[in-house]
Amino acid sequence: MKRFEHYRMLSKETKRRIVLRYALYQIPDIAIFVLILFLLHQWVDLSLWLCIGAVTLWMVKYVLVFTFVWPAYDKPLSGDVKSLIGTEGIAEERLDPSGYIRVHGELWRAEVIGKTIPIEKGQTVLIERAHGFTLLVKPV
């Protein structure tokens, strides 16, 4: 149930990106299935209504499977600052309460959330949120 609540909270643009990505990955599969049904219709004289019913059931299967697999298609964009949430970084300087951290070889402005205990240089931090281009972190 948590998975469906998470999907409902996504922005329309994100939902559109997920559905489009899922649909594009299904095109080769449905094309092959329709081609096989077309050949069976031609060679074995398979009923046209049976072919249409099979394609309809195949599409229903895609909709049902999507409800379970959509998180796999929800990959953050590589240039998106939100793709860093949940990853760890290293403090490049003392964060008291802000400074710079290194994440995946890049320097990012960071701010300590919660407690006002400073984070020392070299300490590992966990990225909790992002506010603009400033990462909100806590010590690991």
Distance CA 57, CA 7 (A): 24
The helix or strand, by DSSP H or E, that contains position 137, with its residue range, turns out to be strand 134-139
Round the average pLDDT of the chain to a whole number and report it.
Answer: 87
Residue 105: what pLDDT?
A: 81
CATH of domain 81-139: 2.40.50.140
- Numbered ranges of CATH 2.40.50.140 in the chain: 81-139
Residue 78: what pLDDT?
A: 60
Residue 76: what pLDDT?
A: 60
Residue 83: what pLDDT?
A: 76
Contact status, residue 111 vs residue 91, Cβ threshold 8 Å: no
pTM, full prediction: 0.52
Residue 3: what pLDDT?
A: 61
Contact status, residue 128 vs residue 104, Cβ threshold 8 Å: no
pLDDT in tens, 59-97: 999 999 998 888 888 766 666 777 788 889 999 999 988
Buried b (16+ CB within 10 A) or exposed e, 110-138: bebeeeeeebeeeeebebeebeeeebbbe
Quickly list DSSP for 89-131.
EEESS-BSSEEEEEETTEEEEEEE-SS-PPBPTT-EEEEEEEE
Enter the tokens of residue 80: 């998106």
Distance CA 62, CA 134 (A): 39
